[in-house]
Structure 1
Amino acid sequence: MDTAFAPRSGQFVQHPAGHDGDLREAVEEFRQGRVWSVQGLLHRSWNDPGLWTSRTQVLGAVATRLNVLDRWAEEEPNAFGLTTLRCRVAVEAALLAGQRAGAPRELGQYVESAREWCRLAASMLAGDPVPWLGLLALAQLDQELARPEHRVPAADRLLPPGPWALFEQVRRTDPWNREAFHRMLRFWLGRGEIGPASSFLSGHLRDAPAGSPLHALPLYLHVERYRRAEKGAEAAAYLQWTNDESVRLAVQQVLAHWRAARGAGVHWPVADESHLAHALSATRRHQDAAEVFAAMHPFVSHEPWVSLSADPDRLLRDSVNKAFAAR
């Protein structure tokens, strides 16, 4: 790597597709109401479950703010992958309704609509993991665990009941599906259960392939611990990155897996790289942080910066400047 290269924080951009150039092209055309690139992308992605889930997740999030799928459905109601994307949009709408914390009846309507789209998508494409991912995502909205599929006993007796059957349904198609693991983590964190979240990761990541972005998951847990700190105690909570030996060791291990992926020519999602860049900066490994910043340039995700500072742009700027000053 060219050690003279030092991007400034203002040179970083947020794009939902990140390093995926084909997806970036499809997203831009989608935003203009065109679906030709999306159709081709869906066909090319189908045989790779990880790629299929990550790309449909991005396209679904983009389509949530557009009416392009309605127009597409009028022209080609049976288009390949269309129902999967409509499932994505319905689930995203339900999750957004949950964040608004509106009337329970309104949320229930969003959830039932999303569940119906998940059922329909599952009937359209055999082996599609997205409908099961959608149902797994909706589990975090069931705070009372009213649905039986959200309180299935875990195979590991040390873990509490949860949506384990949905999780395993995804894993039948893609054993190390990144989104499935993130959805399970969000299920526990959405309930404020840091202990089960930590136990889930420690129990399930031991056998994850070397270089897998799943190894970045503990970094999300550390950010959540900070985010949940009592007001006024944020400064003390932030010291976990420098004072907690287990956290520093975890960051070192994540860096090793990221380098293994880079050595194999594989890009991690920008969100995972952003979490790693921050963690390295927070543990004062600024030269290593510079390596990650340079590799992820020109992309950056809004997390973890927005969860860690009232001025996320400044936090990013300071992290970048310290990283390349160390180089």
Structure 2
Amino acid sequence: MRDARELAGLQDFAPVYHPAGFDQELRAVLADVQLGRWLAARDLLVRTGADWALRTSRTQVLAAAAARTDAVEAWLSEEPESTDAVVMRARVAVERALQAHRAGEATVDVLEREARQSCLLAAQRVPSDPVPWVCLLALAQVDVDLQCGEHWRAPGEEMLPAGPWRLLARVGERDPVGNREAFHRMMQFFCACPHTSVADAINFARWAMSWAPAGSPLRMLPLYAYMESYWRHRRDGTLDALQHRQWSREPVIHYARGAFHGWNGHLAPSTSVVDLNYLAHALWAGHQYVDAAKVFQALDRYATRLPWAYVCDDPGNAESAVREFVRVRAQCLTTTRTRTRPAPKHRLPLI
């Protein structure tokens, strides 16, 4: 009875979906930005300083919210010399171009050119900042015809595909520890470009993980690449039984274990909630329930739409993805508690 009640309680769990994730300071600022206010965002970026991982994640989330308002335009009109405002203008311009590209809008070419100019201006104004170069990397996926030579450069190592390697190098010169968003933008390019493929994205992710140090978010990259491969086969109706079981077989289980053992368990404001959701899924699907439970415990109530929408019963139904997250979390936590619960003590019968 206790196990049944415990499982029912876990399945009643209500996850939290929020773009700020573990970044409590950012959470408070986002509400202002969504209302078109910019003062709190300015102060937040001043406090962020040259913490490039945090600056990259914060400007990305802020831009997604600011793209639907005129907050950054108002900021620039009030403080035209603010370098943070210039960088945020580039961020917002790129976000609007990417949204237009995904929606197939006719304005995408104009928005892409405007975004590129904003990025180049920001790179000139703040030469030490990796964010403008991350923005240029993000724009590479819009260039499906490879009109820009920067988007088709030979890699520095064999067995890797051509792509915007020089832009990635520019980010690395400024953020040498391995900028999470920059590497994800490279993978998105390989998945989107008609001259490359998901297999190229997998090779790129495996290469990055091969040298990423412990604690680096780059160790999570193969989990994204293999999930993208799985999803495309499912979407196209070409999924086979082996792909259903890929997370419990080599090489995927090797990468899931490597990502988990490279994760230091430390939660910082820049820690990606999406990364931990992908890691929790990969460990669960690979029957590593104890390790998956540790990730779910670290996540607390935070969930993301992906990867659960790719593996749930009805990918087009948001509630189906929520149910999948809750079900998997409950299974991992229940299994772990059952295994770690001490065995009952048996009393000797009275004579």
1:188 aligns with 2:190: yes
| 2:295 alignment counterpart | 292
What is the rounded CA distance, in whole Å, between the counterparts of 1:267 and 1:78 in structure 2? Answer: 27
| 1:171 alignment counterpart | 172
Give the conservation status (yes or no) of the 8 Å contact 1:9–1:320: no
Q: Which has the larger radius of gyration?
A: 2
> RMSD between aligned alpha carbons?
2.2
Deviations along 1:187-220, one digit per CA (max 9) or x if unpaired, are 1111351222222222233221211111011110
Deviation, structure 1 residue 238: 2.2
Deviations along 1:285-304, one digit per CA (max 9) or x if unpaired, are 22322211111112112211
TM-score, scaled to structure 2: 0.84
| 1:123 alignment counterpart | 124
Deviations along 1:57-112, one digit per CA (max 9) or x if unpaired, are 11111111222222223322333411111111111111111111233xx2211110
Deviation, structure 1 residue 235: 6.3
Q: Between 213-222 and 303-312, report the one with greater CA deviation.
A: 303-312
Give the conservation status (yes or no) of the 8 Å contact 2:274–2:306: yes
Q: For residue 325 of structure 2, what is the amino acid of its counterpart? A: L
| 1:139 alignment counterpart | 140
| 1:323 alignment counterpart | 332
Match for residue 254 of structure 2 among 249, 252, 265? 249
What is the rounded CA distance, in whole Å, between the counterparts of 1:313 and 1:210 in structure 2? Answer: 30
| 2:246 alignment counterpart | 240
1:207 aligns with 2:208: no
What is the rounded CA distance, in whole Å, between the counterparts of 2:41 and 2:245 in structure 1? Answer: 44
What is the rounded CA distance, in whole Å, between the counterparts of 1:79 and 1:7 in structure 2? Answer: 48
Give the conservation status (yes or no) of the 8 Å contact 2:54–2:269: no
Q: Between 232-241 and 280-289, report the one with greater CA deviation.
A: 232-241
TM-score, scaled to structure 1: 0.90
Map 1:105-116 to 2 at 5 A: 106-116=107-117
Give the conservation status (yes or no) of the 8 Å contact 1:42–1:80: no
Match for residue 217 of structure 1 among 208, 217, 221? 221
Match for residue 44 of structure 2 among 41, 46, 52? 41
User: How many pairs align?
Assistant: 319
Q: For residue 299 of structure 1, what is the amino acid of its counterpart? A: Y
Match for residue 308 of structure 2 among 298, 305, 308? 305
Give the conservation status (yes or no) of the 8 Å contact 1:223–1:308: no
| 2:339 alignment counterpart | none
